Amino acid sequence: MAGKKKHLLKVIILGESGVGKTSIMNQYVNRKFSKDYKATIGADFLTKEVLVDDKVVTLQLWDTAGQERFQSLGVAFYRGADCCVLVYDVNNSKSFETLDSWRDEFLIQASPSNPETFPFILLGNKVDVEEQKRMVSKSKALAFCQARGEIPYFETSAKEAINVQEAFETVAKLALENMDSDDIAADFTDPIHLDMESQKTSCYC
């Protein structure tokens, strides 16, 4: 399975529809921005090789659909994740309010062996938009992060390429640390298999 290949770090990007998950990912991997990204349906991923502490690792970044209706599909690829990137739009308070539900849902579906210490990171995207449209302040976001175990926080703009590379350097570091600590546990689980079993039984009903 992909998540268990040596030095392949699996990262899941979550957040409300339209906050810019696809854009952030593409800005990081391809260093470009397009306003023509379509709403993500299902899931897709991009990979990028990065150097972390003199180690070459491959980041596999999973982009997902943002409407909560499609959250239940996460089982197919949340498992084996090494880091979860939460994204909200600083100009959209609802996207900030739903962060907890994304985080909880991820922990349930991915069921990492270390839910208390599993690495999350928060990105407040679209900071390029004029200041008067901003609806979530930086302090509010920092408070959120503090309350959830010092989650690293970055204010980003996928459009203007602000802070995106920096954010993902941190992602890579956190993911690598998590993989090292989680290595043994991961080798004994075959989570997608379990999922398949449950779907299999449902199809003969």
Partner 1 sequence: MTTLESLDMPEMTEVEDDTVDIHIDNSKVALLFSKSKVFVHPTSKMKDNISGYLSLSKSKALGNSSVAGSDILLSWVPDSFLKNRPRDLSVFQNAETLSNGSIREWVEIPQHLDYSFSVRLCSIYSIIFRPPRYGWNYGSIVINLRDSGESLPPLFFHDDECISTIEYGKQITRDRFDPFDESGNMFWGGTHLLMQLKKYASLEQSSHESQLYLVNPSPEDTVAFQSVELQKVISNNRLNSSSTPPTPRSSSSIFNPFRRALHDLSFTVLERFSRVTNYGKSEVDRLMEHKVTKSILPHLPRELQVLLESKRVQKLTEEYDPARMFLARWAEGIVEQSESNNSQPVNNAGVWTDAQREEDSSLGPFELVYIEERVKRDDPLSVEQWNSMFNAHGKLQVDVHRVLGIIFHGGIQPSLRKEVWPFLLSVYPWDSTSEERRVIYLSLQEEYCTLKRKWYEDIHKQFNDRWFIEQRNRIEKDVHRTDRQHEYFQIEDLPHPDPQSTFTGTNMNMEMMKDILLTYNEYDTELGYVQGMSDLLAPIYVTFNDNALTFWGMVGLMKRLHFNFLRDQSGMHRQLDTLRLLIEFMDPELFAHLEKTDSSNLFCFFRMLLIYFKREFDWEVLLKLWDVLFTNYLSYDYHIFVAYAIAERHREVLLNQTSAFDEVLKYFNELSGKLALEPTLICAEQCFYQFKNKLALIDRKQMEETNSDEDGSKETDLPTIAPYLRNLLKTSQPQYTPSGKQE
- Can you say which residues are annotated as belonging to the binding site for GTP? 17-23, 33-40, 66, 125-128, 157-159
Q: Which is nearer to partner 1, 97 or 104 (CB)?
A: 97
Ranges within 28-47 binding partner 1 (CB under 8 A): 35-39, 41-45
Does 184 engage in binding with partner 1 (CB under 8 A)?
Answer: no
The CB-of-1 to partner 1 minimum distance in angstroms stands at: 6
Ranges within 122-161 binding partner 1 (CB under 8 A): 126, 129, 133
Instruction: Check: CB of residue 8 under 8 Å from CB of residue 144.
Output: no
Helix (H) or strand (E) holding 56: strand 55-64
Does 195 engage in binding with partner 1 (CB under 8 A)?
Answer: yes
Q: Which is nearer to partner 1, 67 or 146 (CB)?
A: 67
Listed in sequence order, the DSSP H helices in the chain are 21-30, 75-78, 93-97, 99-110, 138-147, 164-187, 191-202
Instruction: Check: CB of residue 26 under 8 Å from CB of residue 33.
Output: yes
Strand pairing report for 43-52 and 55-64: antiparallel
Copy the structure tokens of residue 34: 């397009």
DSSP designation for 155: E
Copy the structure tokens of residue 139: 């302090």
Instruction: Check: CB of residue 3 under 8 Å from CB of residue 54.
Output: no
- Interface residue with partner 1 among 26, 27, 91, 163 (CB under 8 A) is 91
Does 189 engage in binding with partner 1 (CB under 8 A)?
Answer: no
Backbone angles phi, psi at 3, to 5 degrees: -60, -20
For tokens 């208390």, the residue is 116
Q: How far does the chain reach from its first CA to its final CA, in angstroms?
A: 29
The CB-of-19 to partner 1 minimum distance in angstroms stands at: 9
Contact stretch for partner 1 (CB under 8 A) within 101-109, 160-168, 174-182, 197-205: 197-205
The CB-of-78 to partner 1 minimum distance in angstroms stands at: 12
The CB-of-69 to partner 1 minimum distance in angstroms stands at: 6
The residues that touch partner 1, with contacts defined as CB under 8 A, are 1-2, 17-18, 35-39, 41-45, 60, 65-67, 69-70, 72-73, 76-77, 91-92, 94, 126, 129, 133, 192-193, 195-196, 199-200, 202-205
